[in-house]
Amino acid sequence: MFGTVSSDDHYTGHKAAAFGGTTTVIDFVSHDLPTLRGSVEAWHDKADAKAAIDFSFHMNITRLTPEIEAEIPVLAELGITSLKVFTAYNNRLRLRDDEIFRVMRIAKEHDILTLVHAENGDMIELLISEALQAGRTSQEWHARTRPAWGAVEASLRSAALAAQAGAPLYIVHMNAGGEVDMLEYARQQGLPVMGETCPQYLFFSIENLQREDGAKWVCSPPMRSAADNARLWKGLQSGAIQVIATDHCTFFFGGTTPILYEGQPVAIPGKELGQGDFTRIPNGLPGVGDRMVVLWTYGVRSGRLTPNQFVALNCTNPAKIFGLYPQKGTLIPGADADIAIWDPEHRLTYGTAYAQHRTDYNLYEGWELVGYPEKVFLRGNLTVEDGEWRGRAGMGRYLYRQGVTVL
């Protein structure tokens, strides 16, 4: 976006995931080419030779024609049993409600799960225009022009579309407390609706965007409030939210200054592109390597989550929902030997010295952690040992997934 690309690719991002104890990721395929099959094949060209851990794909559907509708069933043949639609990003990624409804009905018939990015695109476009006209261009306005009520409304609207379609739904990147309320309401009505949140929405707020280096926290959906943080935690504790994901998409904070990555200097244009104009800040942040290590200390050790909840939210539930269980997400005979050996007493001051994302910052810089993976195995192969990388590009395998499991 904005003339640059994410600073992680399918090698560097996978390596970072492995250091954090994650052995499988599911990436989003951009709907860039005329056909879905062509877009997936282009993503394989990017990923297959670089993959350092096992992986699969979600397919973004960002325009809808009769030809694309007819092609949706092909996704299952390609091992893809989840697709993503957007209620925001007008004129770029968004589908109309009737189009989302049509996608849901087709997906249901072929045991494909619909994922939705839930924000109110019309409200966002109007508020951005008004902010720019008023000269409000600092990074905090990225959040102020994407209000939480739009996410709350879009979450319930998406659940209503799923109810009418008789289709399962998964709400991605839940960031507002009201979204948890809407998810609970939908599930209380017996609807097959599930949701995820991400670590950044548990720990950070719009106050972080108000800092001098606030561009580091610019992602979509944006950071909310401390009250929203607290409601999301309660949703995890009660089981209302089924998964902790990351929406990992790294950019440099200062992309004109190189960092050393595996001994080589790397500099990729990043968030400095939006200096003085929040609409030009690349949206996204690092997280795939941070997720479990941060949540062990500040979720499990803090008493917010039990160890079993930690495993379910990070590992077992996503494996079940996305058609990878019992190959992934459990340690039973016949499952892949994906094992993180966790030292629960390992103490460290976390940050870029430990995180392996190919970028120049970490959101959790200076955080004190207790508990860290000392060895990580992928299908029985040692990939990380005491902070040393034993993996390699091409080690990861593409996973053909089965259909939907509703939790």
Place of tokens 């941070």: 290
- Residue numbers of the domain that contains 277: 12-389
The pLDDT tens digits for 80-131 are 999 999 999 999 999 999 999 999 999 999 999 999 999 999 999 999 999 9
Residue length of the chain: 407
Instruction: Report the pLDDT averaged over residues 165-178.
Output: 98
Is there a domain that residue 7 lies in?
no
Average pLDDT score over residue span 67-85: 98
Per-residue confidence (pLDDT) for residue 159, from 0 to 100: 98
Bridge-based pairing state of the strands 54-60 and 24-29:
parallel
Whole-Å CA distances, 190 to 87, 95, 164: 23, 26, 13
| pLDDT value, residue 319 | 98
- Residue 80 lies inside a defined structural domain of this protein: yes
Band the pLDDT of 76: cuts 50, 70, 90: very high
Q: Grade residue 1 by pLDDT with cuts at 50, 70 and 90.
A: confident
Average pLDDT, rounded, for the chain: 97
- pLDDT, one tens digit per residue, over 205-260 is 999 999 999 999 999 999 999 999 999 999 999 999 999 999 999 999 999 999 99
Structural domain includes residue 400? no
**Mean pLDDT score, 330-347:** 97
149 within some domain = yes
The answer, yes or no, to whether the previous bond of 326 is cis (omega within 30 of 0) is yes
Count of domains in the chain? 1
Q: What is the CATH number of the domain that holds 83?
A: 3.20.20.140
**Is 318 part of any domain?**
yes
Give the Cβ contact number of residue 169 at 10 Å.
Answer: 30
Residue percentage of the chain with pLDDT more than 70: 100
- Asked if the structure places residue 375 within a domain, the reply is yes
The answer as to whether 67 is a domain residue is yes
Q: What region does 371 belong to: left with phi over 0, alpha with psi -120 to 50, or beta?
A: left
Residue 399 inside a domain? The answer is no
Burial of 207 (0-12, 13-18, 19+ CB in 10 A): middle
DSSP letter, residue 282: P
Write down the pTM of the prediction.
0.97
Query: What are 268-303's pLDDT values in tens digits?
Result: 999 999 999 999 999 999 999 999 999 999 999 999
The whole-number pLDDT of residue 129 equals 98
pLDDT in tens, 348-364: 999 999 999 999 999 99
